Amino acid sequence: MPHKIVVTLHGIRTRGQWQKQITPYLARHGLIPYHLDYGFFGLVSFLVPWARASRVQWLRGELRDLMDRTGAKRVSLIAHSFGTWLALEVLEAENGNIRFDRVVLTGSIVRRDFPWGATLMRRRWIQALRNERATGDWVVRAAELFSRLAGPIAARAGASGALGFNTACPGVHDRSIDGGHSEVLNIANYDKWARFIAYPRLPDDHLRRVRMLVQQIRALAAQRLGVDADLVRANIFVPSANALRMIPGAWDNMTWAPEHDIELELDHGSTGRAFTDGTPFSIRRLGASWTAGVLPGPEQAKLNPRLQWVLSLPIGRIVTQDDFTKARDVVGVLNVDGLDSVPPLLQTPGDPTLKTLVFTLWASTEKIRESLALADTGEPLHDD
């Protein structure tokens, strides 16, 4: 999983002192900062259409250049005030040619009806958003008022930095504080923003807990399946950039390095099916090789050749609905798998003992779900 590039973008009437302050927090989570500075941009300039347009063009050029030089398919972004407006103008103007990974808006003046459902969910121009707003931010309210009064010459601005978006959808995370336009740039939040952007890479607190539970689930599975624990492994796949990928380090006994980079389509194999259906699946090898229908060739080539079986447990809120128990809001899949041979119990899928084991392992993923859900929004582990 490559290290992420984080573009930071300041607002008007400032040169973005916070951009320098946030660097160590980004570095701590393995992120690469790239601070952009378009100079001091005054309020009068903001009111002039061609001045705004020239900054949009500048940012398009900067981002294209950055992505060309680094080979990055997406960059993440932290923006404040006018920087939020610039970034989203570029996103719409580029019509999918420039895509963002995970975005933090602070003191946002982006219009409140921004079509997140289309850009974020359907077109995947953005992977996830954290809108950090301050309820007492009069600057963004003034921007919305001006936008309404000035008509066509005004920026399409809104008070999303104070009032939030009215087009929220899954993947849009809203956080608010009491305070004003600059107070939202609070150093106490920098670590959370870095955590949010780094996901699915897990910060230490979540990784420690998740790895411990993964180890315990693997050990219990090996014991109850009657298999040598050395032949049983465990890992977690989560959605990232339109594919399911392993969370680095959130695994146990995964010593075949090529597997760490496997990318699965969202409905491929038992992992993909567990993710889309919200029910556990298992897959076992019956002959010399897996069928070509399970994984595309390049991904199949990464598999440990000794792999014989996989038990895929969807990580989500386990609920009982319409008489069936399923995982909702699935955030990932825990795979327990094994090498060399298929345990006899796994060869009898109707056996109540196996079903009890599958259910037990599945329900035991709850605290993993909790950690992944928190990490996905940038929040640290709560004290138990």
Partner 1 sequence: MTIDRHATHPATTEHHEEIVQFVFRSAASSGLLDRARALLDAAPRELAESFEQAVRTSGLAS
Nearer to partner 1, 252 or 370 (CB): 370
State which of residues 263, 299, 337, 370 lies at the interface with partner 1 (CB under 8 A).
370
C-alpha–C-alpha distance, residues 234 and 253, integer Å: 7
C-alpha–C-alpha distance, residues 24 and 113, integer Å: 34
Chain positions 252 to 281 lying near partner 1, rule: CB under 8 A, are 270, 273, 277, 279-281
State which of residues 64, 290, 345, 380 lies at the interface with partner 1 (CB under 8 A).
290
State which of residues 23, 260, 359, 373 lies at the interface with partner 1 (CB under 8 A).
359
State which of residues 222, 236, 283, 381 lies at the interface with partner 1 (CB under 8 A).
283
State in angstroms the smallest separation of the CB of 14 from partner 1.
45
C-alpha–C-alpha distance, residues 128 and 118, integer Å: 13
Closest CA to 380 of 200, 196, 238, 250: 196
Nearer to partner 1, 75 or 295 (CB): 295
Nearer to partner 1, 14 or 364 (CB): 364
State which of residues 217, 254, 336, 374 lies at the interface with partner 1 (CB under 8 A).
217
Site string for partner 1, 298-337 (x = CB under 8 A): -------------------xxxx--xxx------------
If one counts every other C-beta atom within 10 angstroms of the C-beta of residue 38, the result is 18
Strand order in the sheet with 128-134: 32-36, 5-9, 74-80, 99-106, 128-134, 172-177
Site string for partner 1, 40-69 (x = CB under 8 A): ------------------------------
Site string for partner 1, 82-111 (x = CB under 8 A): ------------------------------
Residue with tokens 């933090």: 104
Question: Which of the 8 DSSP states describes residue 334?
Answer: E
CA of 88: how far to CAs of 154, 155, 306, 372, in Å? 16, 12, 48, 27
Is the CB of residue 354 less than 8 Å from the CB of residue 346?
Answer: yes
Burial of 350 (0-12, 13-18, 19+ CB in 10 A): exposed
Is 355 a binding residue for partner 1 by CB under 8 A? The answer is yes
Contact residues toward partner 1 (CB under 8 A) are: 209, 212-213, 216-217, 220, 224, 270, 273, 277, 279-291, 293-294, 317-320, 323-325, 349-350, 352, 355-360, 363-368, 370
